[in-house]
Structure 1
Amino acid sequence: MSTASPPSRAREAKLFRNNRSQAIRIPVEFELPGDRVLIHRDGSKLIIEPMLGPSNLVDLLAAWRLEEPLGPDDQLPFIKDAPARPEDVF
């Protein structure tokens, strides 16, 4: 379980273009661990959180419980297959 950092004072950050994406220079005091983040919108705010993977099987199963159920497009297609026939093996 991680401990939350105390609230910090807001600070201006620079936006720039990186190919076709918009990027932000994050000041060192706001640096996040790892090399990936989760980002989502909350009204006009963007929320950026470190993407911390589960450290054990229990955490992984708990994370999977939070995922949306699979839809019809995610299911394996039905394949009509001929029944198995006995084979002679010499």
Structure 2
Amino acid sequence: MPTSSVSSRPKVAKLFRNNRSQAVRIPVEFELPGDRVVIHREGDKLIIEPVTRPTNIIELLAMWKQEAPLGPKDQFPTIEDTPAQPEDIF
């Protein structure tokens, strides 16, 4: 799978329909690793980046640090914790 940090020349790619989605055939010289991408728009451009997975705990914690803080709806509800009562099972 070719990957290069050096900028390559632009190339025309084919757009097509896949059910109700529009898809693009990515030429081999632009092939991305993995099986998932993140796509976002900047003006008229679509930016497609490979999804990267953390390879160690430090990278995982760094990814979590970028997440938005949890809000009130994400907190655990208060649960009334009543003590167990004796039961007569005979």
TM-score tier (shorter):
0.7 to 0.9
Instruction: Show structure 2 runs of 5+ residues with no match.
Output: none
Describe the shift of the 1:86–1:70 C-alpha distance in structure 2 as closer, same or farther (beyond 3 A): same
Instruction: Show structure 1 runs of 5+ residues with no match.
Output: none
CA RMSD, 1 decimal: 2.5
The whole-number CA distance in structure 1 between the counterparts of 2:4 and 2:61 is 23
Q: How many residues are matched?
A: 87
Aligned partner letter, 1:87: P
Q: CA deviation at 1:67?
A: 1.6
**Does 2:16 correspond to 1:16?**
yes
Q: How high is the TM-score relative to the length of structure 1? A: 0.80
Match of 1:81 in 2: 80
Q: Which one scores higher on RCO, CA 8 angstroms, separation ≥ 6?
A: 2
Q: How high is the TM-score relative to the length of structure 2? A: 0.80
Aligned partner letter, 2:7: P
